[in-house]
Every structure is written in C-alpha cells, then in structure tokens.
Amino acid sequence: MSAVVADVLRDPRIWQGPRHAQPQVEATGHAALDAALPGGGLPVGALTEVLHEYDGTHELTLLLPLITRLTQSARRIVFVHPPYIPYAPAFVAAGVDPWAMHTITNCGDEGLWATEQALRSATCALVACWPKQANDRQLRRLQLAAESGRAIAIAFRPARVAMTTSPAAVRLHADAKGIQVLKCRGGNAAAQRIAIQ
Amino acid sequence: MQWAAILLPDLALDAVRRSGVDPHAPIALIAGPPQRRSVQSCTATAAQAGIRSGQSLAAARALLPKLITVDYDAQRTDALRDLLVAWAYGYSGEVAVLAPDALVLEVGGSLNLFGPWSAFERRLRADLADLGVTHRIALAPLPRAACVFAHVADGFAVTGAMQAALRRVPLVQSRLPEDGLALLASMGLRRLGEIIDLPRAGLTRRCGVTFVERLDRLLGHVPDPLPLYRPPDRFEAKIEFEAELRSLEGLQFPLKRLIGDLCLFLFARDGGVDAIELAFLHDDCAPTTIVLRSPAPERDAAQWFGIARLRLERLTLPAPVAGVGLVARELPPFVPLARGLFDAGAAAALDWPQLVARLQARLGDGAVKTYLPAADHRPEAAFTTDASVSSRILTGPRPLWLLPRPIPLRDRAPHILAGPERIESGWWNGREACRDYYVLETSVGQRAWAFRPAGAIDGPWLLHGWFA
C-alpha cells in the first residue's frame, strides 16, 4: 500500500468499517461458530442473546466449552434465575469447576437487578440470565453493565423476539439442527446453520 | 521492658464529671447503706469547704449546703476504666489493669513509634486530659514499681538504678497490703530499703506469705504474670432517640453512626465481622430484630451500610422506632482479598463476597447457590450445596438441566436415542427411586432425559432433564 493511502487512513474522518473496532472476544470453543463470529468469539463487555424456541436444543452446549475454560482458569460464572437446576454432575463431567459456577435463585422480579449487579461488580467473567419480559431499555442496561464490568452477558430469550430490534452485540438462534448467527456487531451474519455436538 | 503506669486516683469522680456536670462545682460522691450514707470522695472545691471522705452525708451538707451529691455508680466507673484500657491498647499491645485505680502498659516496644519517652508521656497526658481523667504517670522497668513511683512522684521516670530508687520509697506509699504495712510501721520501719534486706523467713512469719510475694513481685525477684488486656470479642452499641421515628429514612443517620463505630472498633483490633444483629426498639412491643450477613468477614463501613440499606427496603416495622441497637457477636480475623497487581479486572467495583452480600441482602439468605456434585445415584440427590458432603461418582450421560421434580413428557412418539439406564437406590431412607432412564429426542428435536418405572416397556414418560 502506498504512503498516500496510509496517510489517508490516518485521517480520523475516515471510517474503516469492521477493521475499525477490534473488540476483545472469548472463543466459544466451537471452531465453526468462532469462524463465523467477528474476532473469533463472543465479545467481552457486551450482551449476547441466545434465542431458542424449545429447551434442550443445544442452547447451553453452545456455551459449555467457554464455561469450562473460564471456570478452569478460576473465573466466575453466574446463572441468574435459570429455568431449571444446573445439574452439577453433568457440568463436572464436562470439565467445569463447580466452585466457580454460581446460581442466583429466588429472584422473583429482581432478576434483571441481580444480573446488573453481577455484571457491574466486575468479579464475574460471564453472567447468564433468563429474563421473562425484557424490553429494549432493560437490555440496553445489561449491555452497559457488561461494558462497565468487562464481562460477557448472555440473555436467553424465546425465538419469537428475533424480529424485534435489540441492543445486543451478537444474536444467536439455537435449534435442534444447530446455531445460526442472526446478528453480529462488526461482521456479517452468516446465513448457514452451524452444527454443534 | 519498660512499663508506664497510669494511676487514676479520681476515677469515680471523673466518670461523674464526664457525664456533663460542671467540673468546678463542689461535688461529693455518696456511698454506703441508706441509714449511714457517707462521702466517698469529693472535688477540690468541696474539699476546700472542709469536706473529707468518710464524713457523714448530714455533716457534709451542714458544712456546704450547695454541695452536689451524686450516688457512687460502680458500673459507670467500670465503663470509664474499660474505655481507658481500650484507649491504652492503641499505644501498646501489652496493657493490664493492676489495681482498680492503676493500669500499666509496656512502652519499650512502642517508643520507636511514639518516643522518646518525654514526647510519649506528653502524648499520653494530652489524651487523658482530653478524656477528662485525673492521672499520675511514671515509668520503670517493672510494672508494679512503675505504679509505686507514680504514686510517690507524678512524672517520675527511671530506667537504670530502679532498686536504689525503690529503697528510698516510704513504706506507706509502697502500695503493699495494708495490714503488713501497719505491722512494719509499728516496728519502726519507714522505708522500703529497710525491709528489703530483712531475712525472708522472719518477714514471712510476721507479715504473711501474700505480703512477701507482693514485695518480691515489686522488686522483680519472682515473675509477675499480668492479666493482659484483650479487646472484647463482641461489640454492642445502642442509640435511643428523643422522639420516635416513623420513617425508615430517618433511621439511616443513627445506623450510619452505629456501623461507623463498629467498623472503627474492628479496625483497632484488626478484625472483621460476618453477621450484625440490628434491633429496632419500640416503646410498646418487642423489638424488631434483623440480621445482616456477609459471606466473608468485612469491616468496610460503606459496604455494611449498603447491605443494611438494601435489607431495610424489605423491612416493615410494626411500630415507630424508639432506638436502634447493634450487636456483633463473633469477630473473626479480617483477611483482605488478595488481588494481583497487574490483574486485568483490577478495577473491580465489588469483591465477590461483597456482591454475594448485596444480592442476599435483597433477595434473601441463601439466594446465591453453588451446586456441587454429590455421590448418589438418584438424580435428585446427586447434587448438593453443602461443600462438606461433595464428591462425585462416574455415571452415564447426564443432562445439563435438571427439572426440580419430574413432570410428564408431552410428546406423542419420542425417539429413543440411548437407554435404558437402571437407577435403583435410596431404599434406606424412604425416598426410593427405581427407574429406567432414557435419552429421548422429541418431535421438535429437543433432547430429553426421561424415565419410566423400572421394567416398564411402555407407558407415559416422565421428563427429568434437558440435554440443553
């Protein structure tokens, strides 16, 4: 590239598209999915939505290698008011350190508050929540909390909200056939499904 | 070793003066049975008018009609002594109360920080003057000798030739047991030096074992174990309001003061606290008690106040509040959380225990769980939140999600992927499980973990987990 182009690129008025921002990411551990995500993983300090219509369709397997890696390096994972009990024997069998995985129960209507507290505290590497009703403003708050705590925020939501807009940096859709990237900030959403084992 | 002795000759009167009485007014402390009340001690202005300790109350009143009489209160005096000991503990790790009116502190180790002695002594005197306590101070290599010197000459400091100085002390000022002193005085002995050289056997026969032992301790001939002060293992404080408070907002200020006092106390003894009991006192019903908890010992006032505020939001009080009490019963050592210097997340707003404390203050105790595997074949018993029983056994495929209790699977014809796995256990405690577990795929592609009663070939499926 010539010196002229380099000069032009240094001009702050030039916006360089995807190359402009290189977000910090954590690889999901699924090679095909990481390849489809900009930077090669889920963004740190941002909200990721996982949309799924039914339970038991890879929505948690999607995160399992990441959870395993984080807990093994003694970084905390928090589940805020999950719909079921995270079954410790299965997580341990997958290599997760159960001491670094915590579950907040009894939330009632305070689930989003608890999620925000956990994200902002900057003591958790990943906070997953299952909001019953979340509007755009609440999701934006989670996004901001994730930014201030440099944590990965995951919101599991029903598939029907796919058509509404969301402030999430990454939106994934999980079903029995695999994972589909619906949206990813700083990249193009891939059309094809990615199978997950 | 260098011991400073602080004599408190007027402790009971000082305690009265501190409660807000005009210090220059003639005050007399009155004690004794109701029929024979007599003056126990009095201030200088009262003494000028001829009032002496031991005088009857009627005589004192006759001498000085405007004499202010206050009943002697042992509790108030003890409270002031406790305060002074706690204050002295700030200057030395070895503090002891030698007599009701004498406390000693080892200052040899503190001189590097507060010394030299002349400066240290000035500092002690300034503090005591601020506290409004009459005092006499002396320094000597032995604690009891320091007390004697303080008694004889305020401000006396001896480091080398202590024995020579002790020999010159008049016997009446030697703080030895009274009966022995009376006997020796009747023999014509006047100074300590005259009895130090007397044969011990004869002295013991005449004055008793206790007297001789006290003398030997004073001279340093026998070891002198001291009951060293240890800061108390609990903290209790109370604020009573002049007018009842109806709103929780009004409680924040007194709470802040109580928690601030507690955290100062914790800081002085380098401890923390993991549970605080708050009692809201009501005039006409039993107090409302709440317990604030922190998963790790904590001594940050702002942190505790934050927990208290979150807890108060959930609180409804049955009646207006007349006072607040705070009790901290167990004060475990405080260990600050270690964090790497170059940690990426070094700017953590909260530590994990602090976050748990905040969450549980609002959501209720036990809201934050850590599920650990347990050695049991029954799925519903194969996890625990109790770290002491955690262990694991190897099993077949297990789902990531477990349903709190099995429910019927709503699917007409699920496809069997794996199974059966027979689980038969728990017959010994009445929660027997005898099931065949299968991994199923439902018609919409969900992977389920479901069971049938053991041996059943068909029949309804009971869903127990999702391979999510």
**Contact in structure between B83 and B127 (CB atoms under 8 Å):** no
- Which residues of chain A lie closer than 8 angstroms to B445, CB-CB? 54, 57, 175-177
Domain that holds residue B431: 379-466
Tell me: pLDDT of A5 over 90.
no
Domains belonging to chain A, first-starting first, are 22-194 (3.40.50.300)
B76 domain residue, yes or no: no
Q: Do B326 and B388 fall into the same domain?
A: no
Instruction: Scan residues 405-464 of B and list those with Cβ closer than 8 Å to A.
Output: 441-442, 444-448
Q: Do B414 and B462 fall into the same domain?
A: yes
Nearest by CB to B363, from A76, A98, A107: name it. A107
Mean pLDDT of chain A: 87
Among residues B71, B90, B78, B84, the alpha carbon closest in space to that of B21 is found at B71
Tell me: pLDDT of B31 over 60.
yes
pLDDT at residue A127 in the model? 95
The token duo for A84 is 């079921």
pLDDT at residue B345 in the model? 47
CB contact under 8 A, A106 and B364: yes
Q: How confident is the model at residue A19 (pLDDT cuts 50, 70, 90)?
A: low
Q: How confident is the model at residue A21 (pLDDT cuts 50, 70, 90)?
A: low
Q: How confident is the model at residue A96 (pLDDT cuts 50, 70, 90)?
A: very high
Calculate mean pLDDT across residues B126-144.
89
Nearest by CB to B372, from A94, A98, A149: name it. A98
B426 domain residue, yes or no: yes
Q: Do B419 and B358 fall into the same domain?
A: no
CB contact under 8 A, B369 and A102: yes
Radius of gyration of chain A from its Cα atoms, rounded to whole angstroms: 18
Instruction: Scan residues 277-336 of B and list those with Cβ closer than 8 Å to A.
Output: none
pLDDT at residue B194 in the model? 87
CB contact under 8 A, A150 and B403: no
pLDDT at residue B158 in the model? 87
The residues, ordered by sequence, that sit 6+ positions from A101 with a Cβ below 8 Å of its Cβ are A67, A71, A76, A77, A78, A79, A86, A91, B370, B371
Q: Do B330 and B418 fall into the same domain?
A: no
Report the number of distinct structural domains present in chain B.
2
Residue A188 Cα, gap to closest chain B Cα (Å) = 27
Sheet containing B273-281: order of strands: B235-245, B321-328, B273-281, B288-298
Residue of B nearest to A115 (CA): B359
Interface residue of A121, A124, A147, A150 to substitute, partner B, most B CBs within 10 Å: A121
Crossing angle (nearest 10°) for helices B178-186 and B200-207: 110
B433 versus B399: the higher-pLDDT residue is B399
B292 domain residue, yes or no: yes
Taking residue B274's Cβ as centre, other Cβ atoms within 10 Å add up to 18
Residue B328 Cα, gap to closest chain A Cα (Å) = 27
Nearest by CB to B370, from A102, A118, A176: name it. A102
What percentage of chain A exceeds 70 in pLDDT?
95
CB contact under 8 A, A92 and B392: yes
Radius of gyration of chain B from its Cα atoms, rounded to whole angstroms: 35
Mean pLDDT of chain B: 85
B331 domain residue, yes or no: yes
Calculate mean pLDDT across residues B347-376.
83
CB contact under 8 A, A118 and B355: yes
In order, the DSSP letters of A73-106 are TT-EEEEES-SSEE-HHHHHHTT--GGGEEEE--
**Distance from C-alpha of B400 to C-alpha of B148, rounded to nearest angstrom:** 76
CB contact under 8 A, B371 and A101: yes
CB contact under 8 A, A54 and B445: yes
Residue of B nearest to A175 (CA): B445
Q: Do B290 and B407 fall into the same domain?
A: no
Calculate mean pLDDT across residues B409-417.
85
Calculate mean pLDDT across residues B374-384.
86
- Which residues of chain B lie closer than 8 angstroms to A71, CB-CB? none
Tell me: pLDDT of B181 over 80.
yes
CB contact under 8 A, A87 and B399: yes
**Contact in structure between A92 and A98 (CB atoms under 8 Å):** yes
pLDDT at residue B338 in the model? 63
B3 domain residue, yes or no: no
The token duo for B74 is 């042992």
Q: Do B359 and B241 fall into the same domain?
A: yes
Residue type, B118: S
Residue A164 Cα, gap to closest chain B Cα (Å) = 24
pLDDT (tens digit per residue) in B309-338: 888 887 888 888 888 889 988 888 777 766
| Integer CA distances (angstroms), A48 to A196, B45, B146, in order | 18, 81, 73
Q: If DSSP codes are grouped into helix, strand and coil, which group holds residue B238?
A: strand
Tell me: pLDDT of B104 over 80.
yes
Q: Do B324 and B391 fall into the same domain?
A: no
Q: How confident is the model at residue B268 (pLDDT cuts 50, 70, 90)?
A: low
B264 domain residue, yes or no: yes
B44 domain residue, yes or no: no
Residue type, B43: T
Single residue among B328, B363, B398 that ends a domain in this structure: B363
Tell me: pLDDT of B13 over 60.
yes
Residue B117 Cα, gap to closest chain A Cα (Å) = 49
pLDDT at residue A128 in the model? 95
Residue of B nearest to A77 (CA): B370
| B161 CB within 8 Å of a chain A CB | no
| Integer CA distances (angstroms), B186 to B183, B190, B199, in order | 5, 10, 18
pLDDT (tens digit per residue) in B347-359: 455 788 888 888 8
- Which residues of chain B lie closer than 8 angstroms to A92, CB-CB? 373, 392
| B351 CB within 8 Å of a chain A CB | yes
Q: Do B359 and B385 fall into the same domain?
A: no
Q: Give the ipTM of the model, two decimals please.
A: 0.85
Q: Do B354 and B423 fall into the same domain?
A: no
Residue of A nearest to B445 (CA): A176
Q: Do B253 and B324 fall into the same domain?
A: yes
Pick the range with the lowest mean pLDDT from B11-25, B114-128, B199-213: B11-25
CB contact under 8 A, B359 and A104: yes
| B340 CB within 8 Å of a chain A CB | no
Calculate mean pLDDT across residues A161-183.
89
Tell me: pLDDT of A20 over 60.
no
pLDDT (tens digit per residue) in A130-157: 998 888 888 999 999 999 888 999 999 9
Calculate mean pLDDT across residues B417-432.
82
Interface residue of A55, A58, A152 to substitute, partner B, most B CBs within 10 Å: A55
Interface residue of A105, A123, A177 to substitute, partner B, most B CBs within 10 Å: A123
Q: Do B315 and B389 fall into the same domain?
A: no
The residues, ordered by sequence, that sit 6+ positions from B123 with a Cβ below 8 Å of its Cβ are B114
**Contact in structure between A63 and A52 (CB atoms under 8 Å):** no
CB contact under 8 A, A114 and B370: no
pLDDT at residue A18 in the model? 57
Residue B301 Cα, gap to closest chain A Cα (Å) = 18
B18 versus B70: the higher-pLDDT residue is B70
Q: Do B356 and B243 fall into the same domain?
A: yes
Cβ burial, residue B75 (10 Å; 0-12/13-18/19+)? exposed
Residue type, B407: I
CB contact under 8 A, B363 and A108: yes
Pairing of strands A170-175, B383-384: unpaired
pLDDT (tens digit per residue) in A97-123: 999 999 999 887 888 889 998 998 888
What percentage of chain B exceeds 70 in pLDDT?
96
